[in-house]
Structure 1
Amino acid sequence: MPLRWRVAVAFAVVSLAITGLLAAVTWHLASGFLVAKREEGATTQAAVDARLVQDALRYPSQYGSGDLLTGLAGGGDGTVAVRRHGTWTASGRPVDLDALPAELLALAGSGTPARQRILAGGIPVLAVALPLPDGVYVELAALTELDATLRFLSGVLVAGVGVSGLLGLALGGWAGRRALRPLAELRDAAARVAAGDLDARLPQQVDADLAPLAATFNRTAEDLQRRVRRDARFAADVSHELRSPLTTLVNAVAVLRRRREELPPTARQAVDLLDADVHRFRAMVTDLLEISRDERLDPRDLEVCDVVDIVTHAVGSRAGVAVEVHGTPPKIVVDRRRLDRVVGNLLDNADHHAGGAVRVGVSAAGDGVRIEVDDAGPGIPPDLREEVFERFARGAGAGRRDDHGGAGLGLALVARHVHAHQGRIRVEDSPSGGARVVVEIPGRCP
């Protein structure tokens, strides 16, 4: 479970525990108070009624016991009854008086007032039994209203506990999101830095616990950015300084090649090796100059381009390469020079390392364009499909001295240009058995 949800559940559990305890205490106090007051009132009323009945039995000429019992019972759910000499005289709601608890009647018969909550006729009542001369007076006070009140109170308390738990869950989720927001910002900033956006920074924090974290991250990002820029500037300076002697070498080798036939066989072989290495060196210096440039796009270089035309022009007259267009790829806003370099490097990489390209596909991908280059090689193992886009990654060709080995910067430049357009590049298996490099570029770049 994510930390945010663990915080939310913890809030909910604590809220349920606290409100549950408060609800239990409230129920205990409220129900005890209401029941005690109802019992006290019913007992007091029964004692008054018992004295009236006792006077009626003592002076039968002045009181009519039957009419008195009817008046005492009223028109509610109560019942009043008198037992004398084993005979019951009752009024009010009919109940089975013989089903009254024997202990209750025995206590009243022995001269001790007693009361007990029972079910009579299917409803809860409070039975109050009081002693009379030669008999027992029993009054059954209905507790339906008290029972309904207690049920309502219990329902309100249970609902309150449930609502409190939901509110605790919501509050915990909100608190978790708010507390983890700096970590989310840190994650996003770190992801941007990992993707090559060295301008990513964390906002300044006023919290005493978060301010050092933000300051440390920003300082680290600034140091990394300065180091990368310093390395790029160093590579650019070195490459630039190498261009002049490299031009001299190229021209000198060109002179030697023109006079190759005048040289002895050993010198011819040396000239061939020197010519191959000088051209490879020149290609590497050109790539280093390109890769040392600022990765960000210059808005002045963006234009609306037809990718089909760019791909067709890059393929040119390469033998055995067919451009397949699926659907109607839209025109997109890109840096035409960079995109032309992407397609050219993919084709050169296929020529140098995979037996050449056999198919180039162009299709629509949402509002952008998808470019596929299939080669005739054995394919690329899944564990090397990310490594091939790293600088100076030459795979099995590393260490070879031939005319087409390359320096391992071609695919690194491709990935750099694609990422600058906020696009994606990956390697898949080609249906023809080789490798397929897939480039997806959105319709409009930032």
Structure 2
Amino acid sequence: MDELALAADADRRAHTYLAGVGTRRVFPDAAALAQLAAFDETLPQHGHPPQDVLRLLDENGSPGTVASNGPRYYGFVIGAVLPAAAAAERLMGAWDQCASTFDNSPVAATIEKIATRWVLDALDLPRESAIGFGTSATACTLVCIAAARRALLDRQGWDFDNDGLFGAPTVRVVISETAHITVKKALRVLGFGMKHVILAPVDTHGRVDPAQLPPLDDMTILCLQAGEVNTGEFDPFAALIPQAKAARAWVHVDGAFGLWARASSKRALTDGIDGADSWTTDGHKWLNTPYDGAMAICRDAQAISAAMNSDAVYLNGAHDSQKNLNLEFSRRPRGIPIWAALRSLGRSGVKDMVDRHCAQASRIADGLRAAGFDVLNRVVLNQVLVRAATDEQTIAIRDAAQASGETWFGGTVWQGRPAFRISVSSWRTEDRHVDQLVALLTRLLAKQRG
């Protein structure tokens, strides 16, 4: 089988998979999981034909997938892939571009510059900002915090690039008590030491309390949230960021999914957020792009490009070349699926999708309250945080829903007790799907009670 025939076979198998994504089990059953044993073989001495490799991947791998690309998945704020973004990804694979600089890929450099402009426009963030299209919110947070630390030290006349942290002035970090684990991971990897990170107290909704904000100064990085992972709440930026700016602190906002509220009718939740210095957001969450596409956004383009610069004698690039805005030197053009999603949706399409998911989350909350569940959050966005009457019932209902194959959502802990979290973010999810979810959980609750 030649290369083109193999590509056609892969497309045929992908078409078959997509055709059934709305009806397949959301989480694979035991038989499908058992098929994964077919991959457990020793490294072959002699290679297999490419068509055999593809056949094994499809016939034994496809049944073992989680249908997060379908309409009934509500876990971890994972959006299904928009058709335009998926198609762009397919063409990108054929292009096989190293998207580090214009010299390596003129088309990638051109489109990612346009994607930068469009993202800043859609989110109404400072237009002078630079965007590094990275692998994940974790990696992009690391980039932004590294740029922040370097910039604060530079203000003190410290040459971070040559002297590192040996004897350097101390940079303090303040994060929310409910900060996402990826923020903590980035800080840990960067060597801040978690026992030295200062926690800002939060209110009952998980938002940083401005009245209890720890002292800030011009050597402080303050990390805030747009979309707390359990409640979906937003820190009160309009009250917090002016305090930070008065102290000349650097403000970073973790907006992995919540930042897209700014492009919707929920924009008021983000009031004041444009006063920050850096932001991170994912594409695969609310923009419904493929995985491995996130954004490190920095108001001071020079700060991020200086921190991430990787010019070499054999490959120099402009300050806004993606290799100078990211951790990666060799990279795929992650901004292209983001461009494709925005071009296919337009400003109104982004707004409509986010608005619809927020309305569906409220619809789920209303239905579950009526059924006798305790909805723990105000449902200001697309997150529904739920408990049954007892911890045992909560866990049993979550486990039964996951095992049913009809849906999937994850468990969590809120204020010391088990709960489960329903996230609505797939473009495929219709009102009938959320009504089916409510009906399923209502039956499971009745079974627990009876």
| TM-score between the two structures when normalised by the length of structure 1 | 0.21
Larger radius of gyration, structure 1 or 2? Answer: 1
Greater relative contact order (Cα 8 A, min sep 6): structure 1 or 2?
2
Higher helix share: 1
Q: TM-score, normalised by structure 2?
A: 0.21
